[in-house]
Amino acid sequence: MLLWATLLVLAPTSGQFATAPKPVISLHPPWTTVFQGETVTLTCNGFHFYAPKKTKWYTGNYRGRVLRETSGNILEVRENGRYRCQAENSPLSDPVLLTFSAAPLILQAPLSVFEGDSVVLRCRAKEKIQPDNVKFFKNGELLAPLDENTEFNIHHASLRDNGQYLCTGNEKNRSYHFYSESIRIQVQELFPRPELTASLSQTRDESHVTLSCKTQLHPQKSNVGLQFCFFRNNQALESGCSNSPRLQISAMWNEYSGFYQCKAGTGISGVWKESQISQIHRQTTHCQDSHTCQFYLIRSCCQSPNTLEGDLKPINFSWFKKVGEKKKVMVSSEAKFNILVVQSSDAGEYNCKTGWITSKPVIVNVKVPVSQPVLNFSPRKTHILEGDQVKFHCGVRRGSPQILYQLFREDILLQETKSSLNSASFSSNVSQTGNYYCTVNNGLGPNRSKALTLFVVVPVSQPVLTLHTTEAQTIEGDVLTLHCEAHRGSLPVLYRFYHEDIFLNSRKVPPGVGASFSFSLTAEHSGNYYCTADNGFGPRRSETMSLSVIVPVSLPILTLRMPRDQAVVGDMMELHCEAQRGSPPILYQFYHEDEILGSSQATSGGGASFKLTLTEEHSGNYLCEASNVQKAQRSNTKILSVKVPVSRPVFTLKAPRAPAVVGDVVELRCEALRGSPPILYQFYHEDVNLGNSPAPSGSGASFNLILTTEHSGNYSCEADNGLEVLHSEVMTLRVTVPVSRPVLTLSAPRAQAVVGDEMELHCEALKGSPPILYRFYHENVTLRNDSAFSEGGASFKLFLTEEHSGNYSCEADNGLGAQHSEVVTLFITGLTENRSGAVATGVTGALLSMVGLVAGALLFYFWLSRKAGEKSATDVSRSPSDSQPQETTYHNVPAWIELQPVYINVNPREGDVVYSEVQRNQEKNKHTAASTPRSLRNKESSVIYSQVKVVCTPASRDQQPLESSQMSSRDFSAAVSNSASQCSHGGGDY
């Protein structure tokens, strides 16, 4: 009968099992680094059977006071810190480090990374920054350039993905480089390597071996489903993998002897791990006298073959082991011999004896699995220089030969060798920092040493210097950032910055990060820059970078250059624009009312100019603009008024009738059709200035005259706006004077006219333009018609008869209306005296007496007037024409002779009438003087009116007080007449 002896050799377990579940913090969003101002929501997870009513949150030193206690398991935070949570009596969670960064560029990674995870690293820039040419680095080595893509994917994370990560990028269309802070990615085990165990069980019918594949998921991944697979001699058992970590096999089947192994893994993440290989060994021996002796290294027994386990009779058993060549030692007296822990000393020859029956010997060979190896290296230095030769030594305490030794770096096989010794050595020129370990395997499963971290010092490569400003151009006042980075090199790197060989600053930073230095630009910062990098093995210098600092233009000054003080149409004007500060070239642009006139670029200092010939349309606002960067500066506005010289004025005379008559109001108007206001208009009569009138708005001006005889002549006007004075053409005005009431004078040789005397009749109108037609009447019967073509009137003589007594009169007419004299009565006496002659003489004497009284009153009136005006030089009493010897003159004098003022200047829009000067010059005619009454032939002196004010009211337009200092009776009458006329036409204050 067959006797089974089964040997199950199992390797020790690697990995650790969690003994006490603790809460786990999860994040939303799932990043450990975010920008300042953002919010991260923390959730305290890991409670399967209850939801915590309250959760305590800690930050920093968790043994300190509680940061906050929340109802539920959620907390929102906005500040840097290491956060932990605790629910009621649960353990404290592992800390979670959150960073709220103010940097322009950050690298975001998930809180936890497990084996098999698909990991996304996101390079994120602040708002308004569009990163370009994004690059990711691991431990200072470039992973991949991503251009516009800002994410890097680790599709199947493993322990080899551990390391320091950072990202870089420059702003789109600009040369400045941004660098994120580095973060460490530590990939955690999803579950430890499984351990294969076996247990033997027996029933009445057969024996069974139960295989167990033991491992445990990480608490944060407890929801992941594991699959278990069992293998014999690399062939899958049963139907493949299942969710059960156990498999039972029959111990009676001979084919189940061999090498066993199990695997555990997840189908989603694709993480699979294998147990060490275990061997189940079968041996068979025969016992004498039908007794069966079964021997197991784990469990052994010796019993009768034909009896069931429950029917065994008491038998004495003895187990012997041969020691040396002849000696045997009893090792047990039980029916079963168990060796709980197999050791190399247990190897040898065994048999069992019951009574007189002794079994055949069984030789047991014990193969010892290798123990955990120990790895060390030489020479023992803190830092190993890249390329140095290092000798690795991997040794075990025990293990049956042959042993396979293998050397790894970050799960990458470097070297391997087989040896019968308990150690092996490897020599390698190391070039990378990393975790090194060795494995050993003598066929009973591999065993792995603890990892040794070797820091391989890499000398710095040539650093790269980049210059960056906030704008596309380097402008004075901007902040310049110098960034120096060596893409290769370990240990902290000391970076130094230089400007024209002058040391500026230094920074010492971890490897793979680079250093930056910032300052505000001035014009003196133009020049060459470079940096050096040194990690203790000699400095390396970057290439030189040139920088030209643009000085923005200052506020430009606009100057208008003209040939005279006043801009005039036709002048050539030069506009000069100059900025006192600013880097050339400077573009100058000239504007008129926000419309560009032209531009000019100045490649050096001095500004720029622009010329134009002025027209009237060039009046307005001018400015200039200077620019040498993106922003331009505009000068202050200059206002230009282009003056137009006056054109030749047009002079017009407007009279109410033709021809013009004394007393008419004539309007003299002067207007220049072109010319910049204000224009001063001056009016002339025979080159004598009559007056002036300004036109502020540029229209023409008018001047009014009340005509007198002296106003006949040539008239013109003049226009002056300060640029040019032009005269109008000359116009001739002839003023026609209507005849005044004529004075009839009867001259006889004696006081009493007598028949036969020769009497002269003289008719004269003191005023009136010739020719004047004079008609003489006697009792309304025409005696004679005479025309006078000059002053002096008309006369004719007749010899008196008795019929010539009666009433005489005369008439004067120059076409403007006939005027009749007063009637003069003549009494003629005969040569013989009679009563009628006496009566006539009496009557005539009485009439002469009355005429004398009237004449005396008039002379007294005029004398008083001249006395008041201090004009005694022209007094009537001193006129030589006063003495007419022994001639009797009969004359008639009008009660009032209307005289007109010579000039009048009335501004109807003002309340006052201001007379600057009124003058009347009257040429004397000898003939007129001889026949003109004494009281009417005086020469009037100049009269100066200080002010004449006529007040018209609706209640009474008659009350017109006149204020005067000196005025003759005729001119005073003219002023009153003119004022009354003005009031009669609507009036007001003049």
pLDDT above 70 (res 409): yes
pLDDT above 90 (res 503): yes
pLDDT in tens, 933-955: 333 333 333 333 333 434 343 33
Label residue 495 by pLDDT band (50, 70, 90). Answer: very high
Q: What pLDDT was estimated at residue 315?
A: 62
The mean pLDDT of 753-766, rounded to a whole number, is 92
Q: What pLDDT was estimated at residue 102?
A: 85
Which residue from 633, 627, 549, 623 is spatially nearest to 585, judged by alpha carbons?
A: 627
Lowest mean pLDDT among 83-92, 330-339, 490-499, 966-975: 966-975
Peptide bond into 29 cis (omega under 30): yes
pLDDT above 90 (res 578): yes
Label residue 304 by pLDDT band (50, 70, 90). Answer: very low
Which residues make Cβ contacts (< 8 Å) with residue 772, sequence separation at least 6? 739, 765, 787, 788, 793, 794, 812, 813, 814
Q: What pLDDT was estimated at residue 406?
A: 95
Q: What pLDDT was estimated at residue 283?
A: 42
733 token code pair: 């005005």
pLDDT above 60 (res 68): yes
pLDDT above 90 (res 430): no
Better-scored residue on pLDDT, 491 or 948:
491
pLDDT in tens, 95-106: 898 999 888 889
Label residue 557 by pLDDT band (50, 70, 90). Answer: very high
**% residues pLDDT > 90 (the chain):** 29
Sign of the CA dihedral 666, 668, 673, 677? negative
Which residue from 436, 434, 463 is spatially nearest to 450, judged by alpha carbons?
A: 436
Sign of the CA dihedral 418, 424, 425, 430? positive
pLDDT above 90 (res 267): no
Find the helix or strand (DSSP H, E) in which 927 lies.
helix 926-931
Cα 899 versus chain centre, distance: 81
pLDDT above 90 (res 308): no
The mean pLDDT of 366-375, rounded to a whole number, is 88
Q: What pLDDT was estimated at residue 728?
A: 94
CA 869/CA 938 separation, integer angstroms: 14
Q: What pLDDT was estimated at residue 322?
A: 81
Whole-prediction pTM: 0.40
Q: What pLDDT was estimated at residue 560?
A: 93
pLDDT in tens, 714-755: 999 999 988 889 999 999 998 888 888 999 999 988 888 899
The mean pLDDT of 146-151, rounded to a whole number, is 69
Lowest mean pLDDT among 340-354, 493-507, 544-558: 340-354
State the CB neighbour count (10 A cutoff) for residue 280. Answer: 21
The mean pLDDT of 954-963, rounded to a whole number, is 38
Q: What pLDDT was estimated at residue 487?
A: 85
Per DSSP, the residues of 127-180 read: TT--EEEEEEEETTEEEEEEET--EEEESS--GGG-EEEEEEEEETTS--EEEP
Q: What pLDDT was estimated at residue 509?
A: 85
Q: What pLDDT was estimated at residue 463?
A: 93
Q: What pLDDT was estimated at residue 608?
A: 94
pLDDT in tens, 325-347: 766 777 777 777 777 666 777 78
Per DSSP, the residues of 218-279 read: -GGGTTSPPEEEEEETTEE-TTS-BS-SEEEEETT-GGG-EEEEEEEE-TTT--EEEPPPEE
pLDDT in tens, 791-821: 889 999 999 998 999 999 999 998 888 999 9
Lowest mean pLDDT among 243-257, 525-539, 615-629: 243-257
Instruction: Reduce the secondary structure of 313-351 to three states and give it as a string.
Output: CCCCEEEEEEECCCEEEEEECCCCCCCCCCCHHHCEEEE
Q: What pLDDT was estimated at residue 636?
A: 94
866 token code pair: 């001249």
Better-scored residue on pLDDT, 383 or 781:
781
Q: What letter does residue 960 receive in the DSSP assignment?
A: -
Per DSSP, the residues of 49-95 read: S---SEEEEEESSTTS--SEEEESSEEEE-S-EEEEEEETTSPPPPP
The mean pLDDT of 8-18, rounded to a whole number, is 37
CA 868/CA 878 separation, integer angstroms: 17
Is residue 36 within 8 A of residue 314, CB to CB? The reply is no
229 token code pair: 């697979």
pLDDT above 90 (res 202): no
pLDDT above 70 (res 311): no
Q: What letter does residue 822 receive in the DSSP assignment?
A: P
Label residue 577 by pLDDT band (50, 70, 90). Answer: very high
pLDDT in tens, 900-929: 333 333 334 333 333 333 333 444 343 333
pLDDT above 50 (res 297): no
Q: What pLDDT was estimated at residue 137?
A: 86
Label residue 858 by pLDDT band (50, 70, 90). Answer: low
Q: What pLDDT was estimated at residue 759?
A: 92
Q: What pLDDT was estimated at residue 929?
A: 37
> How many residues are present in the chain?
990
State the CB neighbour count (10 A cutoff) for residue 160. Answer: 13
**% residues pLDDT > 70 (the chain):** 74
The mean pLDDT of 458-462, rounded to a whole number, is 89
pLDDT above 80 (res 602): yes
Q: What pLDDT was estimated at residue 174?
A: 65
Q: Mean pLDDT of all residues in the chain? A: 76
The mean pLDDT of 421-433, rounded to a whole number, is 88
Residue owning tokens 């079963």: 336
Q: What is the CA radius of gyration of the chain?
A: 70
What's the number of CA atoms in the CB half-sphere (13 Å) around residue 24?
13
Label residue 4 by pLDDT band (50, 70, 90). Answer: very low
Find the helix or strand (DSSP H, E) in which 840 lies.
helix 835-868
Lowest mean pLDDT among 23-27, 124-128, 564-568: 124-128
Q: What pLDDT was estimated at residue 933?
A: 39
